[in-house]
Structure 1
Amino acid sequence: MTTTTDHTIPDAAPIVLEKTVVKSWKTPITLSIVALLSIVLFIVFRRGGDTTFTFAGGRIAPSLPQLVVPTTLTCVILTTLLAAMAALSWWLLARFAKVPLWYSSVFAFIFVVAFLTWAAGDNSRPLPITSLLLGAVSLSVPYIFGALGGVISERSGVVNIAIEGQLLAGAFLAAVVASMTGSVWLGLVAAVVAGVLVSFILAAFAIKYYVDQVIVGVVINVLVLGLTNFFYSQVLAKDASFLNDPPLLPSLPIPGLSAIPVIGPVLFDQSIIVYLMYIAVAAVYIGLFHTRWGLRLRSVGEHPQAADTVGINVTGTRFWNVSLAGAIVGLGGAYFTLGSVGSFSEDMTGGQGYIALAAVIFGRWDPIRATLAALLFGFASNLQYTLAAVGSPVPSEFLLMLPYVVTILAVAGFVGYVRGPAASGKPYIKS
């Protein structure tokens, strides 16, 4: 006779996983500091008179009427709004655990309008908005190309500190090739090749030999700076007419769109390299989030072990995508010599690669957000020239450091808590 014992397992109590919510206090603190600064600057040290904004047209677009506003009243209204938004940010933090990015963006926009009203007030010369925006877009081109390259590289798991070196190499080789051949198109191709060559060095040491990626990037930047300075002083400067006199890319207005007031001259009356920038932003965004290539790229940047398990070549994927990132950044370097200055000079990038890297972080490794961040930094860079032209009382020393102040505030304050790709900066050693 067989005896069966009934082992009954009682119903286990449900397991409740508590989600830990980490509150980021950086954004409310930053907004409060900026609001307090606004009170001191725009109210305590207020300026009288009126502020005049002009909206001049370009070669095709018509001009809009001037906008004249009372300086003191406008600054008081906008400062009050900033103080209210800073106070509301604390309530948003308590209720939703974080302040939305759009909220910080609106706050920043209001502050910029108040600052422009104050800086151009007291019957100073009119502030040309169209020229301000046009210059912002022009100065943003290297930032945007650099940020796109940074997004691709870091999404694949490699920190691209070498953006500065890739921009500088692209600018140098584009100037030399375009000068020798007289072709801006060959100059653009040369810039792409230069960016790829620099990225090969980064990829080889970081991916194959597992060298610390940050150290490799910094060394590459110093190496490219030294090489370009040497060749400039020893070669280019001795025969500038042949080696350092490239043709400039002509402006190509888009029919219809270039005739739109303000926006037309700013966005649609540009050179081919700016239009390539528009295409690059759209292509990187679609490719990154809506194609198999983007899925594989993001997988090796987030969980390379899992990607390797399903048959993805982690090393090869990272290597070729870092090279692609270098090609994009090198094209941005060509803008310095073929689209803006018209010749190469020592250290002409001036640290813009590092600002592009900050745009990657500020944009949370998203190509669209990184582009918007790059536009913000370009606007801050151009603001110093515009305010100096209208006779603003803002000290020139502050205007020179304005782009870097905006970069620090954006990354350290407005961006809040961010998390990059999980495997970024970590070499993958196949077990």
Structure 2
Amino acid sequence: MSRTPTTLEAATADHGLPDRYTERSTVDRAELNEALSAAINRIDDSLEEFYDRFPSPSSQGLTYTATDNIDGWTASFWTGLCWLAYEVTGERRFRDAAETQLETFQRRLANGDVGTHDLGFLYTLSAVAGHRLIGNERYRSMALSAADLLVDRFLEAPGLIQAWGDHEATDDSWELGRMIVDTMMNLPLLFWASEETGESRYAAIAETHARTNAQHIVRPDGSTYHTFKCDVESGTPIGGETAQGYDADSCWSRGQTWAIYGYAIAADYADEGAYAQLSAKLANYYLSHLEDDSVPRWDFDAPAERDIRDTSAAAIAACGLDELARQLPLADDRVRGYRNAACTTLGSLAENYSTAGLDSNGLLTDGAYDTSDGDYDECCIWGDYFYVEGLVRATEHWSRYW
């Protein structure tokens, strides 16, 4: 597997950075500090309820219910929020909660409840973060075990990490060869594993998947499919589809932001400028299709009557845009624009979509998990996580967990 990207030119059209983001952001840093303090207070209020359990993926009536960490992909976002609160405040209770929750991640490994492509989400924000912050070797071991399981999902011929379902089940063959854009944010676990162990195979698989993603999921105009399928034996591309977007040919905004952030992180780990340039093309498409308040509709191509916002996509974008600004050369004229866009997005979320003053244990309203199931206009736990990460990025000297 070559470490030189060969298919990143798949996105050939660049919309350019919209003019409104080239001027200095009007968002005051003090406002973002205030928003971060309010968010940490809300996390603190929920600490007892979710000490060894977890918020549901999305809320009902803006209230999360408690769930156990036995399946799914979202438990780590609450643990990540606890680690962020610990870093910002130094208060031991947040660390104790995160470490208590990590026992449930250990049980998932022991019980085999890890048949998912989202191992990067699950074990980066829990075990990798814990190892980075307090140096616990057991957390390092947990994260490496998760990385090994993620490697097991790699399909050599199409050059991708299998999404969804049990990749070894004989009755699930219709899913084999399928990749999804979300997996770009699972790759940091593999890059980290190579750095930790000195074994190049983890990073080689991550880069192969990133190139395959660029070739098939990124369209020539810089938009993205949600999911794409290839033949398992030959690697021949079959076609793109969607599961949470409006249709196969539309651009699901949250998927776009997974790709923006994922390629910006890959640029850092792989020391590869082409990844940053692709992230920039994806970012320009995203920013060129935003609403005036910098919070996207759930799908950029959905009919006007389906005007559903997704604050979770905006929160991911804020983090991805900030990371992209860090990966471009300082002399690049776009750096300030991406930073301005990140701050403008955070300011809008804090001003227009905060749950402050509402009867809620979440942080952001108007999250859209799955519009086809009617799951929107709620809090989404990953949106809450990336909102706080974005605020920490904007106000603190912070080293990412990813």
Give the TM-score of the pair, scaled to structure 1. Answer: 0.25
The structure that is helix-richer by fraction is 1
Q: Which has the higher contact order (CA 8 A, sep 6+)?
A: 1
